[in-house]
Amino acid sequence: MAYPIASLDIEANNLNEGFLGTQAPRYADGVLLLEFLMGAGLVIGAVLARQRCFRAHAWCQSAIVLLNLGVIVFTMLPSFRVHVSPKIPCKLGKAYYALATAHAALGTVTEIAGLYVLLSAGTRLLPEKFRITQYKPWMRTVLLLWWLVLLFGLATYARFYVPHLFRK
């Protein structure tokens, strides 16, 4: 998920130009929707594998993993560097920073695992001793982790851009 560009002290009545009706800017709404579409695409890719359409499965999963890498590098990483990492470890007790940090940490592990599966299953770039021989457990684990990261991202988005949801 995209982290906020604006200050962490958002006025409740100062709605940005997002299209989901929250205080999020358009790019954050777009990233959220794109991530959910990618998650759905990964499920479709899993169905393709179950139907033994392995070539379509490989193209689908590879495209999504690589697209997600671009989203991470060009939107999430810069935003995390500016808005979250300078506050670590001092503010980890606050929900927003804890969620964003957990999302980033688990998301990093998941993206690396997805790239490893892609390289191992789809190319001959890795030496044979580093390639996966049992694909199903790896792929299923990455899919499960992807959805867990997506939920952490949704929670991060909600915690920051829907502030009245969490008021005491």
- Domains of the chain, residue spans: 26-161
- pLDDT, residue 14, reads 46
In sequence order, which ranges of the chain are alpha helices (DSSP H)? 26-50, 54-71, 77-83, 95-122, 135-161
pTM above 0.75, yes or no: yes
In Å, how far are 12, 68, 72, 156, 157 from 97, measured between CA atoms? 20, 22, 18, 8, 11
- The 10s digit of each residue's pLDDT in 25-50 is 898 999 999 999 999 999 999 999 99
Residue 20: phi and psi, rounded to 5, are -100, 5
- The 10s digit of each residue's pLDDT in 78-121 is 989 998 888 888 888 888 889 999 999 999 999 999 999 999 98
Query: Which residues have CB under 8 Å from 166's CB, separation 6+?
Result: 95, 158, 159
Residue type (1 letter), 117: V
